[in-house]
């Protein structure tokens, strides 16, 4: 059974950098695209971007200037970095398998941007 | 890129059928067969119910079906059950640089 688990700091200071990691088990991380999606009460679900094990990435243009995704295949992990965060980046962050539809999701990780 | 348009809420009685619409444009829903639907319970992650317009992942009840006509996709739930009460979201591939967009979500109430 495929399992994804997000981890990272739950509180980030404004203007600082948000960093999350997704650990994948039960599947080969080199077999699929892997995505980050976030959810807020105000904006709903928002696709952040995806990464493939080759290093290929694709980011939402609205976040592209602040986002970097990376992958460590030896640890079966992929990561999200979001720079210069503001309160509007407060959200529930999900990692998920695939790119155009998402068949497995992590449980979600709440990140709050606040001083 | 604007979100896909879904009704804020729909309701139905047990045993009935309901349909949730998801309206986009020719650049997303109407142009590609990459529409998917997700069910989300409070405090839980979304669950994939339909992908590529009509396909059900293994384990999803046959009571759930998807379709598309023009720029509007639809999720139909037949034989409504209390357990179906949840939020439902559609999403679509888009030819814009946004790549994937979501609907605003529909709250299904089983009366």
Tens digits of residue pLDDT in A68-96? 999 999 999 999 999 999 999 999 999 99
Are B45 and A60 in contact (CB < 8 Å)?
Answer: no
Residues of B in contact with A102 (CB under 8 A): 36, 38, 46, 48
The pLDDT value given to residue B98: 81
Nearest neighbour of A44 by CB, restricted to B3, B36, B93: B3
Residue A82, beta-bridge partner list: A18, A67
Nearest neighbour of A107 by CB, restricted to B45, B99, B104: B45
Within 10 A of B58 (CB to CB), how many other CB atoms are there? 5
- Cα B84 from Cα B77, distance rounded (Å): 8
Are the CB atoms for A113 and A87 separated by under 8 Å? yes
- Cα B40 from Cα B88, distance rounded (Å): 6
Query: pLDDT digit string (tens) for B49-62?
Result: 999 999 999 999 99
Distance of CA A39 to the CA centre of its chain: 11
Q: Give A2 to chain B, closest Cα distance, Å.
A: 13
């Amino acid at each position: 059974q495929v399992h994804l688990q997000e981890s990272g700091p739950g509180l980030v200071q404004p203007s600082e950098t948000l960093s999350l990691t997704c650990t994948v088990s039960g599947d080969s991380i080199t077999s699929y695209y892997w995505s980050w999606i976030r959810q807020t009460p105000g904006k709903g679900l928002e696709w952040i971007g995806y990464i493939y094990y080759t290093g290929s990435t694709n980011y939402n243009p609205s976040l592209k200037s602040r986002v970097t995704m990376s992958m460590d295949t030896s640890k079966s992990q992929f990561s999200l970095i979001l720079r210069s965060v503001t309160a509007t980046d407060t959200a529930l962050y999900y990692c998920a398998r695939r790119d155009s539809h998402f068949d497995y999701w992590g449980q979600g990780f709440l990140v709050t941007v606040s001083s | 890129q604007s979100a896909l348009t879904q009704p804020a809420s729909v309701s139905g009685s047990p045993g009935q059928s309901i349909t949730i619409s998801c309206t986009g444009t020719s650049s997303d829903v109407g142009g590609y067969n990459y529409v998917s639907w997700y069910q989300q319970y409070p405090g839980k992650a979304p669950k994939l119910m339909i992908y590529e317009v009509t396909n059900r992942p293994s384990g999803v009840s046959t009571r759930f079906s998807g379709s598309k006509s023009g720029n509007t996709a639809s999720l139909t739930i037949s034989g409504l059950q209390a357990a179906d009460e949840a939020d439902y979201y559609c999403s679509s591939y888009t030819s814009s640089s946004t790549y994937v967009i979501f609907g605003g979500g529909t709250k299904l109430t089983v009366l």
